[in-house]
Structure 1
Amino acid sequence: MIQRLDRIDQLRAAAMLWMTAYHFCFDLNFFRLIREDFYRDPFWTWQRTAIVSLFLFTAGLSQAAAVHQGQTWARFWRRWLQVAGAALLVTAGSLLMFPNSFIYFGVLHGIALMLIVVRVTAGWGKWLWLLGALAVGIPLAAPTLIQAVPALEVLNTPWLNWLGLISRKPVTEDYVPLLPWLGVMWWGVAAGHWAVRERPAWLGSARPARGGLKALVFLGRWSLSYYLLHQPVLMGLIWLVMVLWSA
């Protein structure tokens, strides 16, 4: 039986809460209640990078723990289908809200693909640290390579830009390509394998949490549902407050 480890769930919950605060500010900007540049201002772009990194690193930790506990492929695919289905819902919803910049390869799309890769490579041990570094570093050379070989401009098209080997960012509300982000998840798997062997207490236990930590564990365990619902709820609440305020 696969057991959830509470500290991994708490770490995932921390990422969810940070994401919620970020998206709340994004929504205030969407409704023109504040004026911020979420696409170019380093204050916001670096936060997004940190939030996505925390999500993917935690996903890697979870995969390492699941493999260590003997998760079957059947159980893996059941969870994968949930993530992939949620990614399709995100695409559908963003197409309605942002038809000119809808999400076709965001964080859930990226996680769905990366989960398969890390599951297949989970047994590669310490090599995952090196693979992670390569995955993070290789995209840095893509702009120079594309400029030198014009035929590689095809990598910038929507058919291939999910790889992450691009020289310009696509117009989309969320973009989490395979590279460099697979490197972060690989590092999470490598760190998880090390923790399982050397510091298992760092990953927590399956015992019920207490107090405020119990709420964090609950949020971490229902993170996918929360992710799908938090933006419609936030935007709906902001819209409702605006309507009531102007009434």
Structure 2
Amino acid sequence: MAGHGGWSTGAAVRYDRVDALRGVAMVWMTLFHFSFDLSHFGYWAQDFRGDAFWTVQRTLIVSLFLFCAGLGQAVAWHRGVGWLRFGRRWGQIAGCALLVTAGSYLMFPRSFIYFGVLHGMAVMLLVARATAGWGRWLWLAGLLAVLSPWAAGWALSGPLSTWAAAFDGRALNWLGWVTRKPFTEDYVPVFPWLGVMWWGMACGQGLLARRPAWFAGPVGGAGRPLAALGRYSLGYYMLHQPVMIGALQLIGWLRT
């Protein structure tokens, strides 16, 4: 899991409150992933697929990341950031998504990540960028996006059941309109998650229009290191799991 879109805060002025909020998500994600790693290596048995304690946390963490990405896109739209600058950052995210797929295939060949949070974000950012001018309609679009998997699940289990196999297959399940979730270590389809990003963008545009001081306000105390962490979310995301996994493997080797 990761939350990116931080380029949109601009080179001249950083909005530390957005970065700090993203930093909170990074810390939460790290604790979640470390718990997962402990379970994977047999140090702490947990059911990350079935236990609501973990599944709800994952939903909240991904939601916070994508909401922050939407806030960042609102700032980009407000400042008139061009497609060229957007494209450079987008290319970094898409490239990292491919690295995640390759790395996860080596570790989990049966359940590798083919459409996780970075893959989903790469697609969703393109859509968010193209729809940034929708204004208040983003709230309604977000609601429809969030509800669409339930509607699709009902239709594919009933009147459109002949299409279920196609939408459940890897070629289309990245949309999120499925009757069963795929077996993969991370799955962040376009729907319902695009709705959360749209809500973040709608919220950001509303704040910039009515309460711009919220973005420019200072952060103090613990907010400063969180803001620093939030500025480098993509690099941190790519490094934190290899470091933690490597440390746990080293501990296991030393104990043998």
What is the TM-score of this pair, normalised by structure 1? 0.95
Q: Hey, what's the Cα distance between the residues in 2 that align with 1:150 and 1:125? A: 36
Q: Among 163, 168, 171, which residue is 1:156 paired with?
A: 168
Structural mapping, 1:123-202, within 5 Å: 123-148=133-158, 149-153=160-164, 154-202=166-214
- Tell me the residue number matched to 2:89: 79
Q: Hey, what's the Cα distance between the residues in 1 that align with 2:153 and 2:84? A: 40
Instruction: Give, in angstroms, the shift of residue 142 of structure 1.
Output: 1.9
Instruction: Give, in angstroms, the shift of residue 211 of structure 1.
Output: 5.1
Greater shift in the superposed pair: 147-156 or 170-179 = 147-156
Q: Among 101, 107, 122, which residue is 1:97 paired with?
A: 107
The answer as to 2:130 corresponding to 1:120 is yes
Q: Hey, what's the Cα distance between the residues in 2 that align with 1:84 and 1:122? A: 20
Instruction: Give, in angstroms, the shift of residue 213 of structure 1.
Output: 2.9
Instruction: Give, in angstroms, the shift of residue 168 of structure 1.
Output: 0.1
- Tell me the residue number matched to 1:32: 42
- Tell me the residue number matched to 1:47: 57
> Unaligned regions of 5+ residues in structure 2, if any?
1-9
Q: Hey, what's the Cα distance between the residues in 2 that align with 1:86 and 1:204? A: 30
Q: Hey, what's the Cα distance between the residues in 1 that align with 2:100 and 2:205? A: 31
Instruction: Give, in angstroms, the shift of residue 138 of structure 1.
Output: 1.2
Aligned length: 244
SS at match of 2:131: helix
Q: Hey, what's the Cα distance between the residues in 2 that align with 1:143 and 1:76? A: 34
What is the TM-score of this pair, normalised by structure 2? 0.92
Q: Deviations over 1:62-87 (max 9, x none)?
A: 00011101101110001100110010
Q: Hey, what's the Cα distance between the residues in 2 that align with 1:128 and 1:202? A: 21
Root-mean-square deviation (Å) = 1.4
Q: Hey, what's the Cα distance between the residues in 2 that align with 1:9 and 1:172? A: 30
